[in-house]
Chains A and B, each alone.
Chain A
Amino acid sequence: MEVLKVERLSQSFGGLSVLEDISFSIGAAEKVALIGPNGAGKTTLLNVLSGFIPPRAGRIYLLGNDVTHMPSHRRASLGLSRSFQINTLFSHLSLLSNVLLAIQGVQATRYQMIRPITAYKGNFDKAQELLELVDLWGERDSAITTLGHGQQRQVEIILALASKPRLLLLDEPSAGLTSGETGNLVHMIRNLMGDSTVFFCAHDLDLVFSMAERVVVLYYGHIVAQGTAEEIQNNPKVREIYLGTEK
């Protein structure tokens, strides 16, 4: 069964069609990239997939469940997780609290009102594991706002990974990072993602081809090409689109 199946998805803003008849699917443990020029609709697609914008038409199936009109938080319970293009963190809470909340988000105990959060040792251990993997355990009590931008970006991704999602959506993970920071980030993602299914969109083609096995190309709301990384790199249409924009 595919982890994600998208059928004839369409979305428009006002009269402007942003996504047109999008269909594709992603299998378990696949790492798939979504590329396309600015304004092609990449972030919109991720927003529709994660439930922040309803589609105008089409269907979305997550692990066989029709989630087309399901609210975001319920998709998370089914195993969908995402990161945002702009850091969307719990700014004034500590790093540890951020990670705990991310781990807790899919647990029933998140509604528990009487026992303190410190009683859930399992989650603390998981949080420690995650933060130690990226060398941020020492900063666990710092408020997010005190961390550097590169670190915050790492946290942005960690939060999405904390709940061990089945499908991970990453929206421009390296946005705003220097190439050095990007390298670190890719390293971190590859360490943490394990055999999760990952669907991410990015501008940086180096990033794309170092992480993805398959690539989907979006051009003004339409999928114009799909294939392995190699196929896409050699696809003449794709080169035409990117001529002058990227390498």
Chain B
Amino acid sequence: MILRVSKEEKKRLIRLAPHIFIGLLLLTLPIYTDLSIVSLFTKILIYGLLVMSLDLLVGYTGLLAFGHAAFFGIGAYTTGILIKHYGITSFWLSAPAAVLMAVLAALVFGLVALRASAIYFLLITLAIGQLIHGIVHTSARPLGALTGGSDGLGGIPYPDIGFSFSFSPNSFYYFTFVIFIMCALLLYWITKSPFGYSLQGIRESEIRARALGYNTWLYRYIAFVIGGLFAGVAGVLYVHYNGFISPEGVGMGASGLLWLMLILGGSGTLWGGFIGGRIILSLQYFVSGFTPQRWPLILGVCFVGIIMFYRGGILPQLIIFWKKMSHDGSLKG
């Protein structure tokens, strides 16, 4: 008996196909690859989430947030400090607390940063990022003792989720995967919601949005805080993954890396950031194999090359291809 699939459903399947395919690939990863690849992909998922949170700000809202790594760092450092210095080892306590810290920071810094427009916003978020960097980098007491100063904070174990369960690299990969899916889904829903479309309108024309009744400042503020929230989540995952966090993960270098991933993959598409992150991290893994010292140089050259020649990013090209395949792209009424 032939299963008849309606044209509508066929289109939907084609649209979902790449997601399903990639999802299956990621799900079965530990089965056919070794630990170092699983580790790489754990990192890719974490950075994917981080870049997606940045994309919400940059691609959708049009906020040139250049210090985004700060919220990532706050999530990571708070987790580390709670576990190492305050003995709060339960994931169910330390993780929410860390994300809360990131959110609080975003609430406070958003107030300051959003007084500025465009280039000034970029500079002030850069400054905020360096401020956080300075706070975790200083060796002066009492901060230095808490954060480990320029040496960073190490010896952080996998999350303690109770039930006498201990993580292994593989199980932590799945743990990350689940959290990634949940967060990515949330971000996706946000971008497809009235709120998400309003953000895009504000990005396109702030004046028109105001004239139509949108409180543009409030939208940007909320977006900024949401971005900080998911960056904090990524930070929590990272510090458990890496066991270690240092100021390098917090400053301008780190934020710049995120931008490169975002631009490479294509901003304003959410998944673009994920793909960009995947490419950059895979490249880094590969390059570190034979010239780790030259990685920043290669990164810089890539950066300049991409901006000069291929600013649209890779994902939009892929999307155009898929749209042609499934005759999609419109908002269904």
Contacts and interface: CB of A to CB of B under 8 A. Distances in A.
A113 B201 contact: no
A113 B197 contact: no
Given A84-B208, A117-B194, 4 more contacts: A89-B204, A97-B197, A101-B201, A101-B209
A117 B195 CA distance: 8
A121 B207 contact: no
B308 interface: no
Interface in B198-232: 198, 200-201, 204-205, 207-216
Contact of A113 (B190, B208, B332): B190
Interface residues of A, number: 48
B212 A118 contact: no
B189 A113 contact: yes
A149 interface: no
B22 interface: no
Contact of A115 (B193, B201, B205, B211): B193
A96 interface: yes
Contact of B331 (A51, A97, A115): A97
13 contacts: A50-B211, A84-B208, A91-B205, A93-B201, A94-B331, A110-B194, A110-B195, A112-B195, A114-B193, A117-B193, A117-B196, A125-B333, A141-B331
B19 interface: no
B196 A113 contact: yes
A198 B193 CA distance: 32
A81 B211 contact: yes
Contacts of A124: 331, 333
Given A50-B211, A52-B207, A91-B204, A117 B333 contact: no
A88 B208 contact: yes
Interface in B234-255: none
Interface string A97-125: 11011101110011111111110110011
B192 interface: yes
> 9 tightest A-B contacts by CB?
A76-B213, A105-B212, A105-B213, A90-B204, A124-B333, A116-B192, A72-B210, A113-B195, A101-B201
B33 interface: no
Contacts of B209: 73, 101, 105
Nearest to B215: A73
A114 B274 CA distance: 21
A72 B205 CA distance: 14
A141 B329 contact: yes
A218 interface: no
Q: How large is the interface on B (under 10, 10 to 19, 20 to 34, 35 or more residues)?
A: 20 to 34
Interface string A143-169: 000000000000000011001000000
Nearest to B268: A92
A77 interface: yes
A101 B197 contact: yes
B211 A163 contact: no
A88 to B, nearest CB: 5
A90 B211 CA distance: 12
Contacts of B205: 88-91
A82 interface: yes
A148 B329 CA distance: 22
Interface of B: 189-190, 192-198, 200-201, 204-205, 207-216, 329-333
A93 B200 contact: yes
Interface of A: 50-52, 71-74, 76-77, 81-82, 84, 88-94, 96-98, 100-102, 104-106, 109-118, 120-121, 124-125, 128, 140-141, 159-160, 163
A176 B192 CA distance: 35
Majority SS at the chain B contact face: helix
B194 A109 contact: yes
B198 to A, nearest CB: 5
A112 B194 contact: yes
B198 A104 contact: yes
A200 to B, nearest CB: 15
Contacts of B210: 51-52, 71-73, 76
A73 B207 contact: no
B97 to A, nearest CB: 24
B204 to A, nearest CB: 4
A163 B333 contact: no
A118 B207 contact: no
Contacts of B201: 90, 93, 97-98, 101
A163 B209 CA distance: 13
A113 B212 contact: no
A118 B331 contact: yes
Contacts of B214: 73, 105, 110
Nearest to B329: A141
Contacts of A71: 210, 215
B211 A101 contact: no
A88 B195 CA distance: 20
Contacts of A115: 189, 193-194
B30 to A, nearest CB: 32
Contacts of B195: 110-113
A89 B207 CA distance: 9
